[in-house]
Amino acid sequence: MTSTLATATHAIDPKSQAKYRQAIVAIQKAKELLAEIATDNEIGAFFHYTEAAGHLQQAIEHLVYAKPSALCRTCQGDGIHNNMTCFQCKGHGWLPAGVVKTQKS
């Protein structure tokens, strides 16, 4: 069985984080394709670019928020704090970028 600390360390490894970056790049490429469709008078007449692109932008924002970013300082990556599931990381041992960002500001 893998320890929570090992899982947390894996989560914040650059190789794991790369999947988030790859997903964002793929979505950005999809947005470019949508713009091409929307501006093509022959095929884009019924395509609502703004709405579709907005959904893709939301997906990017979710990915930016959720990307594993740092070991949890409350439990030091164990997922346990005061003999209970860590309230900060919900037992995962790591925190997403969106939470880490709010802690620094």
How far is Cα of residue 94 from the mean position of the Cα atoms in its chain?
Answer: 13
Q: Which two tokens stand for residue 50?
A: 């703004």
Is 9 a binding residue for Zn ion by CB under 5 A? The answer is no
Nearer to Zn ion, 34 or 86 (CB): 86
Which residues from 32-91 bind Zn ion, rule CB under 5 A? 72, 74-75, 86, 88-89
- CB-side neighbour CA atoms (13 Å) of 102: 7
Nearer to Zn ion, 50 or 102 (CB): 102
Rg (CA), the chain: 19
Is 97 a binding residue for Zn ion by CB under 5 A? The answer is no
Nearer to Zn ion, 52 or 80 (CB): 80
Say if CB 59 and CB 66 are below 8 A apart. no
Minimum distance from CB of 98 to Zn ion (Å)?
16
Nearer to Zn ion, 47 or 65 (CB): 65
Minimum distance from CB of 49 to Zn ion (Å)?
42
Say if CB 92 and CB 69 are below 8 A apart. no
Say if CB 77 and CB 93 are below 8 A apart. yes
Q: Which residues of the chain form contacts with Zn ion (CB under 5 A)? A: 72, 74-75, 86, 88-89
